[in-house]
Structure formats: C-alpha cells, structure tokens
A = this chain, B = another copy of it.
Amino acid sequence: MIELRPEQHEIIQKMSVFQVRAGMPPTEARILALLLVSDQTELTFDEIRETLNTSKSAVSTALNTLVLRNKVESITIPGDRKRYFKHQLKNWNANAKDGLEKLLSVNQLLKEILGVRTKETEDFNQDLKNVIAFIEFMQVELTQVFQKWNEQQENKQ
C-alpha cells in the first residue's frame, strides 16, 4: 500500500473529475491520476488496488483497457511475477494526434451530406462548404504543427 500525501489525494480527485467529464470511466481516470502523482512511477496491481481501495475486477479491467489504449504501459521484471504499471507520458503527443484526427474525420460525413442535399438551399450549402474547407484547412495546418514540434524536439538533442 502506497502512502499518499493530502495534496496527492486532492489532485487525484481533481484530475479524475476532469477526465470523467471527458468521458473516461472513473476507475480508469483514478488509476491514470494515481500514476501521475505517485512518488513511485511504477506500481503493482495490488498497490493500485489498495491505494485506490477498489476491487480486483475493477482494477483489472481498467488497467487492461488503459494498456490497450496506450495510456499505460505494463512492465515485467525478470524473476518477478508481478507486472508493474507505468503512465505512458511519452505517448501523450501521439494520443493527442490520434484524437484530433478522429475529430477531423467528421469531414467525410459532411461531404456526404453536401452530396445528398438539395441544391435549392444555396446559402446553407455555402456555409456547409465553408465548414468542410475549414476542417480541411485544419488538417493541413495541424500536420504542419505536429511536424514543427517533432523537428524542435530533434534539434534539442
């Protein structure tokens, strides 16, 4: 069992509220938050379960989906049967990119809608075309922004 300072508990609370609002299940959110604030960066299944005071089943399913979604990485140390779990901070960038791309993929549907609409409603259709153009613009610009970040990072080494 990990001992947490009061501030750490507080942040777990605030952070998980934030993530739950964004659609993440509570247990997953609390595990992620714990892995961010804990003094040890690698925790075992049981440390997580005890510290968060949650059932084995809840922790097991939550951890598995977190690993599946590349939010958490699971580490095995040779000669130790336990698995250790660690926040995948390194993937934050890539996850963000994936998330944005998924959002922008709505453009496919908007184009379909434009294809199906009456030609009568010219103003509306023009507005729709504009949204489509905006999303396409964002796609191009965001790729450049990500590229720029990656270049900056490489130059720092």
> Closest approach, in angstroms, between the C-beta of A55 and any C-beta of chain B?
25
Copies of chain A in the complex: 2
Using C-beta atoms within 8 Å of the partner chain, give the interface range for chain A.
Answer: 35 or more
Partner of A116, one of B37, B128, B141: B37
Q: How far is the CA of A121 from the CA of B14 in the complex (A)?
A: 22
- Chain B hits for A138, CB < 8 A: 96, 145, 149
Question: Mostly helix, strand, loop or mixed at chain A's interface?
Answer: helix
Contact of A130 with B by CB under 8 A: yes
Report whether B113 and A37 are in contact in the complex, using a CB–CB cutoff of 8 Å: yes
> Closest approach, in angstroms, between the C-beta of A39 and any C-beta of chain B?
5
Report whether B39 and A121 are in contact in the complex, using a CB–CB cutoff of 8 Å: yes
